[in-house]
A and B are shown apart, each in its own frame.
Chain A
Amino acid sequence: MVCEDCGEREAAVHLTSIEAAEMQSIHLCVGCAAERGISPESADADAPGTPPLVDFLAQLGSPGPKTPVPDSAEPCPFCGISAGDFRRTGRVGCSQCYVHFETQLRGLLRRIHGSSQHAGKLYLNEASDLSDRLGQLSSMRRRLKRAVETEDFETAAELRDRIHEIEMKE
């Protein structure tokens, strides 16, 4: 596609806007886009063929200038996922990853969504007694199993009693 302004160079910046319910597309080369004050950096997230996630993942492999990710990044302390795992699967492992990899993820989110700030519904953590109790129980059951596996019978006995206690309250 040829640039709509100069009609010479190949269009590299594609912008679509909706004004008064009319969809309008413009296709510009990098030079003409710059003249109109449109930066290719802000537009290239929409360019076909380069999904931002792929871009980002590639950068994780070979740190580029935009969002450098230190190779030495420690794995997430909660779920153990590493930058490499993330690069391979495109998925983080747990909610703590968003804290652990916050800097890198903020850049990625901006490129995927054009923003890194949530604007939707808020969640006030008012989880009821029920969820507290269930969460507590699950976590204790997991610890109990681990204690049994590692033959830490003292801890296991203590956990068993506490689980029993909570279950009796229901």
Chain B
Amino acid sequence: MIQPSEVLGDRGLDWIRGGDEAEIVLSSRIRVARNLQGFAFPGRSGPEERADVVEMIQAAAERIESLDGGSFWGIEELDFLDREILVERHLISRDLLAARPGASSAALVLARETSCGVMVNEEDHIRLQALVGGLGLDAAWRQADRMDEELGALLPLAFHHQFGFLTACPTNVGTGLRASVLIHIPGLVLTKEVSKVLEGISQVGLTYRGLYGEGSEVVGNFFQISNQTTLGKTEEDLIDHLGRVTGKVIEYERSARSVLLAEAPSVLEDKVWRAYGILRTARSLALEEMMNLLSGVRLGVSLKLLKSPRVETLNDILVRGQSAHLERAAGAKLTEHEADVCRATYVRDKLARDERDAGHAPADGTSDTTAVDGPPSGG
């Protein structure tokens, strides 16, 4: 049997390298819900039926090209830490972990090269997802659609001529599609425009959440925007709509940043540099504090107030600075305090390495950062 911790490696972290609009949009995700005909949905099925579903989907997943070379794990095979790492990477949900105990009650398939995967027996029999860096909904859809087509050719899916693909929750029925973008909008938060924008979002058939999906708090100015309805429109229309609204939000964010730069440049610069300074030197960092500081640094990089670190480094820290990842790296169980210390060490090292790779500290060569040393002009 494959030991997940040995092969988990960088799986599912393909998005970290970024993509279009990567300074503002961290990742784009397509999730598709499907169920097998003739089986009760996971919430209503017994251990045997669940095991049968896992068996069928595993047999199909092993035969399809889009998951070629991928790995398959029963949730029971994963130790606690691996499960937490997968949650931190947004590759599985807490709901999958809450699957009823019993042999092969739930499972996970992860592709080798891409951030594609399939959750088996979460709320629905199949939850497939594709995750790409930056704003790349179309690319993610192409990957998800291919997996869906291939699986659908091998498995009998629950489909209704009028309602489309059938799901355990009526909110997912039809296309079964949830498209989302994880977006960083500190400019709108700082200018207090964010609630207006979010209100607008929720009035055009979209919804928003914090970094970790449903019910999660908004940390570090990261918002997840996704389609709210799944029935009555084509997949392309739903994705296109989210893409267009996201483009609009990016535009609003950019103009909010321009306003901040024009009206309070020194405040903004101070905020960015303090964030970098703390991350670069702190000896203990709580997760939330790290997230908020990373937000400041990301804004600084995006506005070219800082020359480094690279966006990829910031994405990497966002993932590997989380507790389960730190525990895996430390090879030991960590108390909250120990995790904070490890986090600070990890972040310092990571930023120092990025400075070395870039061949300079963030300030070098940027003339605009020297302006803050002098007194404000025009006074």
Contact = CB atoms under 8 A, between A and B. Distances in A.
Interface of A: 14-18, 21, 23, 25, 46, 48, 53, 78-79, 81, 89-95, 98-99, 105-106, 108-109, 112-123, 125-128, 130-132, 134-135, 138-139, 141-142, 145
A117 B232 contact: yes
Given A15-B203, A113-B174, A118-B174, A131 B154 contact: yes
B203 A21 contact: no
Interface residues of B, number: 61
What 6 pairs across the A-B complex have the smallest Cβ distances? A115-B232, A118-B164, A138-B52, A16-B203, A95-B158, A93-B44
A134 B57 CA distance: 10
B170 A105 contact: yes
A81 to B, nearest CB: 6
Given A21-B248, A120-B233, A135-B38, A92 B177 contact: no
A91 B168 contact: yes
B230 interface: yes
Interface string B220-242: 00000000011111110100000
B35 A134 contact: no
A23 B200 contact: yes
A127 B177 CA distance: 21
B229 A114 contact: yes
Interface of B: 35-41, 43-44, 48-49, 52-53, 55-56, 59-60, 63, 123, 145, 148, 152-166, 168-171, 173-175, 177, 199-200, 202-205, 229-235, 237, 244-245, 248
Given A15-B203, A90-B169, A98-B163, A119 B234 contact: yes
A89 B43 contact: yes
A124 B192 CA distance: 49
6 contacts: A21-B248, A81-B44, A117-B232, A121-B235, A130-B63, A135-B56
A134 B59 contact: yes
Q: Classify the secondary structure of B's interface with A.
A: mixed
A131 B53 CA distance: 11
A121 B231 CA distance: 11
B44 A134 contact: no
Contacts of B165: 118, 120-121, 123
B80 to A, nearest CB: 27
A133 B43 CA distance: 25
B60 to A, nearest CB: 7
A89 B123 CA distance: 12
Contacts of B230: 113
A137 B154 CA distance: 15
Contacts of A142: 48-49, 52
